[in-house]
Amino acid sequence: MKCNASISNSNTHLTIDERRIIETGIRNGSTHTAMAQTIGKSKSAIGKEIKLHREIKSRSSLPMECAGYKHCKYHRNCSANCQDYVPFTCKRRDRSPGACNGCPDMSKCRFTKYWYNPEKAQNEYREKLVECRVGANLTTSEAKSIADTIRPELQKGKSVYQILQAYPNLGISEKTLYTYIEDGTLKEWGVDQFLLRRKVGRKMPKAKKSDFKKREDHSYLQGRTYADYNEFKSMTPNAMVVQMDTVYNDVSNGPFIQTFKFIQYGFLFGLYHEEKTAESMLSGLRLLEKILGDDLFRCQVQVLLTDRGSEFVRCIDIEDGPDGVKKCHVFFCDPMCSGQKGSLENKHEELRYICPKSTDLRALGLVSQEALNCALSNINSAPQESLLGKSPLDLLEFFAPDLYDAFKTFGIDHIPFSDIVLKPYLLKQYIK
């Protein structure tokens, strides 16, 4: 039934009752339009609500979601190179209503299923709402910048209004700036109520803000925790796993190495960066995809496991392909649990033979991707006891010649054993 108050209700937040109506609509297979008309919201609001709060009920038991798995003549040994591969799509799951609640084929479906729970969605909404209203939404550097800008003007007797008119780039309202001054947020940098023209100094409240931290959005972790990784691996034990991290000595100046370990071959790959940002790490993944090509990337990087560093928050953008089919699954280790990707951490020890800690990596000669490729070529050419005397490049060339050729074209190749160097002086040739 269409709600008579649809217009007046369109700009309000969803309530628990409206979320229960949405869940009922999903179970009945209703469209987003029908649900929107029922509760007086826009169609896009319904779609965003479901996509934001739905959770993975169970993951696909197939390495890749192929629509032809029932008649697979390759024993379901899925690969993006398979000529019979047909990406699976589900109108109910991927379009409208957008979740699998009430699906009659739920029990026999082999693909990833999503579930919308109205109570859990309401709790997540409340937690985010409360978080958004607590504390100063700025970093220490931002607070200092604001204080340094307004302090000289306040000392000249100017009002907060006049200052904000002269400095619109501060990007805050008059009320917010008064709040920062009154509650002591800017006191550390010499701005308090005594500088205001008409404000009387008051005793600082006990609940003084003492830390400055930008509020974090952890929604990207939904369905991508280490527990989700273990569940996925138990269902698809043959999935190709790549672990990712960053290596650096100077967090301010770099350089930064985005490292990848292809677990099945013991192969270490790395990309050189001047910055350690979410954008640079995502661009590194895009470059890796370009190096391998779409089909090889889907085949060899089916699972990407990394830590929860802020530089990796955008890596989930690599998951979905333009065809709507997942290119890979990204998972994140638990906080302070680097051992969950211990295979890569151990490989870093070999990289540290050439790039030791507490040194200026640029002064050593690590100034470019070419220099990094040289180090990686030597590391991956060295025989490993864990590989029964073979090197990672030996395994790569034997088991995955296409992958070997892609990295060789990029600049990583076999080094004869007599020429292998695992010392810092290896990079002297690249010192400018």
Q: What is the predicted pLDDT for the residue at 7?
A: 43
Q: How confident is the model over 245-275, as pLDDT tens digits? A: 999 998 888 899 999 999 999 999 999 999 9
Q: Mean of the pLDDT values across residues 45-57?
A: 90
Beta bridge partners of 371: none
> Please, how many CA atoms are within 13 Å of residue 420, restricted to the half-sphere of its CB?
17
| Model confidence at 66: pLDDT above 70 | yes
Q: What is the predicted pLDDT for the residue at 5?
A: 43
What percentage of the chain carries pLDDT values higher than 90? 50
Q: How confident is the model over 365-422, as pLDDT tens digits? A: 999 999 999 999 999 999 999 899 999 999 999 999 999 999 999 999 999 999 999 9
> How high does pLDDT run on average in the chain?
86
Residue-wise over 280-289: b if at least 16 C-beta within 10 A, else e?
Answer: bbbbbbeebb
Q: Mean of the pLDDT values across residues 150-169?
A: 89
Under a CB-based contact definition with an 8 Å cutoff, are residues 151 and 195 in contact?
yes
| Model confidence at 429: pLDDT above 50 | yes
Q: What is the predicted pLDDT for the residue at 108?
A: 84
Q: What are phi and psi for residue 268, nearest 5 degrees?
A: -105, 125
Distance, CA of 338 to chain centre: 16
Q: What are phi and psi for residue 36, nearest 5 degrees?
A: -65, -40
What residues have CB less than 8 Å from 306, skipping those under 6 apart?
A: 243, 244, 245, 312, 315, 330, 331, 332, 333, 341
Q: What is the predicted pLDDT for the residue at 6?
A: 41
Whether the ω angle into residue 97 lies within 30 degrees of 0, i.e. cis, is yes
Q: Residue 188: exposed, middle, or buried by beta-carbon count in 10 A (0-12, 13-18, 19+)? A: middle
Under a CB-based contact definition with an 8 Å cutoff, are residues 136 and 180 in contact?
yes
Residue 338's nearest CA partner among 305, 386, 375 is 305
Residue 185's nearest CA partner among 139, 129, 117 is 139
- CA gap 279, 259 in Å, rounded: 16
What residues have CB less than 8 Å from 315, skipping those under 6 apart?
A: 244, 278, 281, 282, 285, 304, 306, 330
Under a CB-based contact definition with an 8 Å cutoff, are residues 306 and 243 in contact?
yes
Q: What is the predicted pLDDT for the residue at 116?
A: 94
Q: What is the predicted pLDDT for the residue at 12?
A: 81
Q: How confident is the model over 234-245, as pLDDT tens digits? A: 888 889 999 999
Collapsed DSSP state (helix, strand, coil) of residue 288: helix
Q: What are phi and psi for residue 273, nearest 5 degrees?
A: -130, 150
| Angle, alpha carbons 23-27-31 (nearest 5°) | 80
Residue-wise over 317-332: b if at least 16 C-beta within 10 A, else e?
Answer: ebeebeeebbbbbbbb
The DSSP letter of residue 80 is T
Q: How confident is the model over 397-411, as pLDDT tens digits? A: 999 999 999 999 999
Distance, CA of 312 to chain centre: 4
State the pLDDT confidence band at 180, using cuts at 50, 70 and 90: confident
Collapsed DSSP state (helix, strand, coil) of residue 344: helix
Q: What is the predicted pLDDT for the residue at 76?
A: 64
Q: pTM, whole model, 2 decimals?
A: 0.58
| Model confidence at 334: pLDDT above 50 | yes
| Model confidence at 427: pLDDT above 90 | yes
Q: What is the predicted pLDDT for the residue at 201?
A: 45
Q: Mean of the pLDDT values across residues 316-338?
A: 85
Start-to-end Cα distance in the chain: 74
Distance, CA of 259 to chain centre: 15
Q: What is the predicted pLDDT for the residue at 126?
A: 83
Q: Which of 40-49, 54-63, 207-216, 330-339 has the lowest mean pLDDT?
A: 207-216
Residue 331's nearest CA partner among 235, 218, 243 is 243
Q: What is the predicted pLDDT for the residue at 379?
A: 96
Token reading at 251: 């967090």
Sign of CA dihedral 422, 424, 425, 428: positive
What residues have CB less than 8 Å from 14, skipping those under 6 apart?
A: 22, 39, 41, 45, 49, 125
| Model confidence at 216: pLDDT above 50 | yes
Q: How confident is the model over 266-310, as pLDDT tens digits? A: 999 999 999 999 999 999 999 999 999 988 999 999 999 999 888
